[in-house]
Structure 1
Amino acid sequence: MSPCRVEGADLRVMQGNAGLGSTTILNGFGISLGDGIIGLQALFAARSLGAIEGRVVLGRKEPPAKPLVPQIYRFAADFAEVVPLPEAPLSGRVIDIRDFAFDPFFRQVAMIDFFLTRLGLQPSSVPASLKRMTWLAPRMAPLPPLPMAPGYVLVCPNASIPLRDMPDAVHEALVAQLLARGWGPVVTQGAAPAGASTMPHCATIAELCAFVAGARAVVSTDTAMVHLADAFSVPCLAFMTTHRPAMRVRDYPLCRAVHLPVAGLPDNTEFVRSEADIAAAQSAWFPEGEDFAWLDYALDQFASATLRGR
């Protein structure tokens, strides 16, 4: 037995054919779309700065219920190779980030900083440009054509877990206020209120990216869509309940975030513990009862900060 260099776990493995010039990342990078987009950016930065060289294998078990997740990794094939677990080679350098959502460090720092650290970089030494989602857009070109004219506002009221979903009443008020401002047609991923249209189902990640890239602005509670907005330099208004904005959108100059802290819920909660958690998170969207003046103010600030001149 020969010990490999392992980050984040005490693991001893047999030397195999991959060689010491290879790096295997176990569970690189999670099972959600947003985690994958950010993790691949961290890996892109690590390779760009020379912290990781040679062959890179991402040992993954793809979630069957999330067909877009494995697709995002195919666009990173020039700097990372996906090998299904447990076939991933355990030779050379092994970085074990399995179950990272349970890691206390993960809940204390920005996600991009967590992945950069696990890949062997000091986040403070990484240029700001490499903490944005710069790896994706060039590899997506050309995007598929849109079934509608660009210039709409894209609303994303549903998140990857119900804990972060936008309540129907807020969604309806948001769409009404967007339409009243005349920023353009409103397209939503949810059930469309009067005056808006529903975004067609996207069978591929390229189609989803095309809808983001064609938007004048994105308004979202789903962080994956926020990361895509940054990738295509689209202004974004992000509503965040369970996480402080600095944990997910700190490095996005075109993103304005609104934090709606959840009473009684631990900071940076990653999982639903009970129905009471969902009820608490939903209540956070109503800081002033049914008065949505706060939402009106958030849209005004967003327009002033990011939409002026567009």
Structure 2
Amino acid sequence: MTYLDQLSALTNAGSLLSANDEIVASYDLEVEGASVDGYRSLATVSAIRNANVEAFEIDYSRVSRLHVINGMGVTLGDSIIGISVLAAIRRANPAVSICIYRPRRDPEYVRQLYKLAEPVVGEIIDLPVHVGSMSRDDLLLDIGNHLFWPNFASMPMIDFFLWSLGVSPDAVTAADKANEWLRQVKLPPFNRDPLPEKYVLFCPIASTPVRSIPEPFRVELVERMWQKFNLPVLGFGKIDHAHYTDITKRSCDTAAFLAWVKGARFVLTSDTAAVHIAAGFDVPTVAFFTTIAAEMRVRDYPNCTAVDLPLPDLAGIQASGRAADLQLVERAYRWLLDGHWAL
């Protein structure tokens, strides 16, 4: 029996199996700082399929119940795209029931997204669960820790999730690839008063500094939005501009964030969840990309204008706050705004 060491457990391309035969998310162990002694790869259980171990295709018309183990990531953007695939499966095969097993320590705003999505895609259950609790007559698919799957870095994200669930990209409609499941979400009543009904939205802050719009350029971009649209600019973060309002405190949960994006006339952002939400609600968007090629994230969004910044030295970096990396990002934005891009 092969047990994983600390590094192998936390970077395992799939979920983990404890000494007590419980399925565990390595993310939970990392957040808790827990010991990984006695953990094995879930891939050792032959009844549970993992596309990273062996690729497969599934005829979902023959599936009655699907268990998605450790899907679809712990970030908002990844989850929105991953849920799109599950929604597409269910739309094409209404008889399929879906159960999604999630890390119990995922961020609260991501947990809220899955709660909103539950009526669209299916039941949400926290890990850990005993491996014996899942019927071997059901379809059991593990896509845990997908950040460490080689194909995650080499495929457009929507294609990655389709592949990981055994679905051909050609079998999914363009609308499903653009996160239109978000339109089925029942958002609670939302009061914008005293803020304007018509506005454009600025979302400069990504999950990591290297993908965020640097602070020195935010006032300039807000000014360009104001000049272009002649509408109030709402956004996230303090920016000193007469026509800008910080709505961070008015976006207290995920439902409110979705509502702000949905109601915007236009969104300017970087590689953030906002670009995926805007696509779902068909909101015109411009999005800047630094470390990941835009086609890997927004290829299927017809209303998104993507801008790839020239940063070959940072290609493929998932996260960074290093001063040297951020200096490169600032130089690229300065080059872009000095006559190489216009709103």
Smaller-chain TM-score bracket: 0.7 to 0.9
Deviation at 1:124, TM superposition (A): 2.4
Q: Could you tell me which residue of structure 1 aligns to residue 124 of structure 2? A: 82
SS at match of 2:114: helix
Quick one: which of 127, 136, 151 aligns to 2:182?
136
Deviation at 1:253, TM superposition (A): 1.2
Quick one: which of 187, 190, 202 aligns to 1:155?
202
Letter paired with 1:181:
K
Preserved CA contact (<8 Å) 1:145 1:210: no
Quick one: which of 102, 105, 119 aligns to 1:60?
102
Deviation at 1:97, TM superposition (A): 1.3
Segments of 4+ in structure 1 off by > 6 A? none
Structure 1 window deviating more from structure 2 (146-155 vs 30-39): it is 146-155
Quick one: which of 219, 229, 242 aligns to 1:172?
219
Letter paired with 1:270:
Q
SS at match of 1:155: strand
Quick one: which of 255, 258, 261 aligns to 1:206?
255
Preserved CA contact (<8 Å) 1:37 1:227: yes
Deviation at 1:187, TM superposition (A): 1.2
Aligned length: 284
Preserved CA contact (<8 Å) 1:62 1:69: no
Q: Are residue 186 (structure 1) and residue 228 (structure 2) matched?
A: no
Alignment of 1:6-155 (within 5 A): 6-8=49-51, 21-50=64-93, 54-63=96-105, 66-78=107-119, 79-87=121-129, 89-91=133-135, 92-141=138-187, 143-147=189-193, 148-155=195-202
Residue 42 to residue 23, structure 1, CA distance change in 2 (3 Å): same
SS at match of 2:68: strand
Letter paired with 2:263:
G
State the Cα deviation string for residues 264-310 of structure 1 (Å, max 9, x = none).
Answer: 123x322338543333333322226xx63234x2x0xxxxxxxxxxx
Deviation at 1:39, TM superposition (A): 0.6
SS at match of 1:244: coil
Letter paired with 1:22:
R
Preserved CA contact (<8 Å) 1:37 1:133: yes
**C-alpha separation in 2, matches of 1:261 and 1:221:** 14
TM-score by length of 2: 0.76
**C-alpha separation in 1, matches of 2:170 and 2:71:** 22
**C-alpha separation in 2, matches of 1:175 and 1:9:** 43
Residue 215 to residue 32, structure 1, CA distance change in 2 (3 Å): same
**C-alpha separation in 1, matches of 2:338 and 2:108:** 36
RMSD: 2.4
**C-alpha separation in 2, matches of 1:138 and 1:21:** 23
TM-score by length of 1: 0.83
**C-alpha separation in 1, matches of 2:272 and 2:175:** 19
Letter paired with 1:171:
R
SS at match of 1:8: coil
Residue 123 to residue 150, structure 1, CA distance change in 2 (3 Å): same
Residue 63 to residue 242, structure 1, CA distance change in 2 (3 Å): farther
State the Cα deviation string for residues 95-116 of structure 1 (Å, max 9, x = none).
Answer: 1111211212111111111101
**C-alpha separation in 2, matches of 1:2 and 1:221:** 40
**C-alpha separation in 1, matches of 2:104 and 2:298:** 25
Deviation at 1:25, TM superposition (A): 1.5
**C-alpha separation in 1, matches of 2:81 and 2:110:** 12
Deviation at 1:189, TM superposition (A): 0.6
Preserved CA contact (<8 Å) 2:286 2:304: yes
Unaligned runs of 5+ in 2: 1-43, 55-62
Preserved CA contact (<8 Å) 2:67 2:140: yes
Higher helix share: 2
**C-alpha separation in 2, matches of 1:6 and 1:270:** 26
Unaligned runs of 5+ in 1: 12-19, 300-310
Preserved CA contact (<8 Å) 1:75 1:136: no
Q: Could you tell me which residue of structure 1 aligns to residue 332 of structure 2? A: 284
Preserved CA contact (<8 Å) 1:23 1:54: yes
Letter paired with 1:164:
R
Q: Are residue 238 (structure 1) and residue 326 (structure 2) matched?
A: no
